Amino acid sequence: MKLEKKGNLVGQVFNIQRFSTHDGPGIRTTVFLKGCPLTCFWCQNPESQSRQPALMFRKNACVACGRCIPVCPSGANRIVDGVLVLDRDLCGKCGACVSACPKQGRSLEGRDMTVEKVIAEVRKDYLMYSNSGGGMTVSGGDCEMQPEFTVALLETAHDEGIRTAVEITGAFPWETVKRITDHADFILYDIKQMDNEKHKEGTGVPNVLVLENAKKLAGANKKILFRLPLIPGFNDHIENIGATARFVRSLGLSPAKHLELLPYNNLGEEKYARLEFEREHPNYKRQPEDYIKELKALCASI
């Protein structure tokens, strides 16, 4: 693939976060791509699940001025009893209402970007990557949903001497997983739940491919960090943590070094209201520090 062609490839990006310190070694720029095969009920970035742009509507900012009504080509906005109502079935996610809103009550999450435009943002912190051992991380959603674009990003970063990392679910055929991870210097690999039925219940997909691909990556001696988001009542109990740590150990890796437990945070809860999701998002609280220490000690002992 020629550099010019790679640079012109277009993907759906919903965020580029600079100075990230939690998405791989050193200081990094994390590129968040749209689309995910999982529908985790606790998802902190629900706007990332669809490949299409997501319209966020902050109702508490809306003053029902009606300026969004005439600019909408599909007639998705109307005022009912003094309240602005958005018909999401009609909404074409064109973004016209975002520009028209005087109170910044709307935003469109997800935009087309070429590889070159993304790399231009990543390139800004090149010296910081060199000094900290950091680089670019491609995340999501799940970047495996956009394999062509992801590979082009990784290849172009390598062409410019920038280290790469990916965060993936592994819930794809091995050919897709291998193709992407072959171009990554570091892999962040999500494991949600060791029990297959519970995994399917909580994420919408079984974990068979997830575990199979994890074994293949570990067998290929990839630099990998497994990450387990601790969801209250779903996977944060001793049995699941122990099973996950034993799985990592079975791959010839130390759970103390290669398994990261991520305490629950509720930073994404407001997003569900802005997306007007029908299903209610659980209002969980972060696990107590003493319990997190107990779980980490368990992992270290296996």
Task: Please tell me whether residue 2 adopts helix, strand or coil conformation.
Answer: coil
pLDDT in tens, 160-205: 999 999 999 999 999 999 999 999 999 999 999 999 999 999 999 9
290 burial (CB, 10 Å; 0-12 / 13-18 / 19+) is exposed
Domain-wise residue ranges, the chain: 3-51+110-301, 58-108
In 3D space, the residue among 113, 179, 119, 114 whose CA is nearest the CA of residue 144 turns out to be 179
Return the beta strands (E) in the chain as ranges: 10-20, 28-33, 54-57, 77-80, 83-86, 106-109, 111-114, 135-139, 163-168, 186-190, 224-229, 259-262
Closest of 168, 260, 153 to residue 217, by C-alpha: 168
Mean local confidence (pLDDT), 147-165: 97
Q: Which pLDDT tens digit goes with each residue over 86-105?
A: 999 999 999 999 999 999 99
CATH class of 58-108: alpha beta
CA dist., res. 208 & res. 136, Å (int): 29
Nearest to 20 by CA among 119, 136, 117: 136
Average pLDDT score over residue span 5-17: 92
pLDDT at 141: 93
Q: Is the pLDDT of residue 1 over 70?
A: no
pTM to 2 decimal places:
0.92
Instruction: Please give the mean pLDDT across all residues of the chain.
Output: 94
**How high is the pLDDT of residue 182?**
97
Q: Which CATH class is domain 3-51+110-301?
A: alpha beta
pLDDT level of residue 265 (50, 70, 90 thresholds): confident
Tell me if 3-51+110-301 shares its fold with 58-108.
Answer: no
